[in-house]
């Protein structure tokens, strides 16, 4: 099989697929149109997020048998069109579930214990104890929205901190030893921390908006390691200003470029988030550890070879 690699990934993908007699071509720089012009030559494509694989792209790939996304999110692929064309879609959310879960816990600990603020103050000769009194995770009710690979790994970690973990998911019957499934309405009644672990779809775009925030019974901490456009930033900022949202941990932002390479918009809401002591912001790296890079690639290779060797 002839496979086109459109993004740089761990070298084990190339090494192991070549060993299985796949024919590979790397193209990390061609534009969307340039790739469209030659895609019919290939049986498979391995991507991250650089180029959107829309209906036009897929129809030009007349010989495509699979698309492999090294990662979890599939929003840059026209999934219905791929299904109609009989193209298998492969991803590897198992590969970075642990890094995402650890990132969630890490951000919460930094935010709730004012670790970054206190450290910077001491380094600048400022010694404040009462002002930097922390808030414990122990005993908090954490509401996860989405209970796939990321949600389950996060629940496992937080249950070890003595949190009561509940979750909402569109699929039924997912409760386990780490978390109990509830309705979204019940989650809004009980949760003191809310963390998103959902894909970006028409149903989840701006799921967290003014209405969502106003329906939360408790003032709460908010975590987003999913997708930036799951959250309406203006409503998030308003919630932070009012105190309804006690603090936010954001690894993703509404204003990211679709390839996640950088921010493409700057405005007053974004400026507030970046300036606020109540907000921790990281550059879309929750699933971006040395270990996850290898695991993401290995899961992709294993799935491709299971189907095509």
Q: Let me know whether 103 and 62 are in one domain.
A: no
- pLDDT of 205 above 80: yes
Catalytic residue among 50, 227, 232, 254: 227
Q: Let me know whether 78 and 108 are in one domain.
A: no
Q: Let me know whether 77 and 103 are in one domain.
A: no
| The two structure tokens encoding residue 24 | 């590979």
Task: Share the mean pLDDT of the chain.
Answer: 96
Q: Let me know whether 176 and 128 are in one domain.
A: yes
Q: Which of 91, 129, 134, 90 is nearest to 112 (CA)?
A: 134
Q: Let me know whether 28 and 128 are in one domain.
A: no
- pLDDT of 119 above 90: yes
How many domains is the chain built from? 2
277 is catalytic: no
pLDDT confidence tier of residue 70, bands split at 50, 70 and 90: very high
The string of pLDDT tens digits covering residues 12-30 is 999 999 999 999 999 999 9
Q: Let me know whether 85 and 101 are in one domain.
A: no
Residue 154, pLDDT score: 98
In this structure, the number of other CB atoms found within 10 A of the CB of residue 23 comes to 12
Structural domain of residue 266, as residue ranges?
97-281
Percent of the chain past pLDDT 70, that is, above it, reads 99
Q: Let me know whether 125 and 208 are in one domain.
A: yes
Residue 294 lies in a domain: no
Residue 263, pLDDT score: 81
CATH number for 128: 3.40.50.720
Q: Name 186's Cβ contacts closer than 8 Å, sequence gap at least 6.
A: 166
Residue 262, pLDDT score: 74
Residue 230 lies in a domain: yes
Q: Let me know whether 108 and 18 are in one domain.
A: no
Residue 219 lies in a domain: yes
The string of pLDDT tens digits covering residues 157-172 is 999 999 999 999 999 9
254 is catalytic: no
Residue 257, pLDDT score: 78
Residue 260, pLDDT score: 66
Residue 118, pLDDT score: 97
Q: What is the mean pLDDT of residues 144-158?
A: 98
Residue 259, pLDDT score: 62
Catalytic residue among 256, 266, 277, 290: 256
Catalytic residue among 114, 168, 197, 284: 284
Q: Let me know whether 33 and 107 are in one domain.
A: no
Q: What distance in Å separates the CA atoms of residue 166 and residue 186, rounded to the nearest whole number? A: 9
């Amino acid at each position: 099989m002839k496979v086109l690699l459109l993004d740089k990934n761990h070298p084990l993908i190339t090494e192991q697929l070549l060993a299985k007699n796949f024919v590979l071509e790397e193209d990390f720089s061609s534009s969307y149109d340039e790739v469209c012009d030659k895609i019919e030559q290939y049986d498979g494509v391995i991507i991250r997020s650089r180029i959107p694989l829309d209906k036009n792209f897929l129809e030009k790939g007349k010989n495509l048998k699979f698309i492999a996304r090294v990662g979890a999110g599939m929003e840059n692929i026209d999934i219905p069109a791929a299904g109609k064309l009989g193209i298998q879609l492969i991803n590897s959310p198992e590969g970075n579930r642990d890094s995402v879960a650890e990132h969630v816990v890490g951000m919460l600990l930094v935010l709730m214990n004012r670790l970054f603020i206190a450290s910077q103050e001491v380094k600048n000769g400022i010694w404040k104890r009462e002002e930097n009194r922390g808030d414990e995770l122990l005993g908090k009710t954490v509401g996860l929205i989405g209970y796939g690979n990321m949600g389950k790994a996060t629940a496992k970690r937080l249950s070890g901190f003595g949190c009561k973990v509940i979750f909402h998911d569109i699929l039924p019957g997912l409760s386990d030893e780490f978390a109990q499934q509830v309705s979204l309405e019940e989650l809004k009644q009980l949760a003191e921390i809310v963390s998103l672990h959902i894909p970006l779809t028409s149903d989840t775009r701006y799921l967290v908006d003014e209405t969502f925030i106003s329906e939360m019974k408790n003032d709460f901490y908010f975590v987003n390691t999913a997708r930036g456009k799951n959250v309406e930033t203006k409503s998030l900022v308003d919630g932070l200003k009012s105190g309804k949202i006690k603090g936010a941990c954001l690894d993703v932002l509404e204003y990211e470029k679709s390839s996640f390479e950088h921010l493409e918009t700057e405005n007053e809401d974004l400026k507030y988030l970046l300036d606020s002591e109540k907000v921790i912001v990281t550059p879309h790296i929750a699933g971006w550890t040395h270990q996850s890079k290898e695991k993401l690639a290995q899961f992709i290779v294993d799935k491709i070879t299971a189907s095509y060797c």
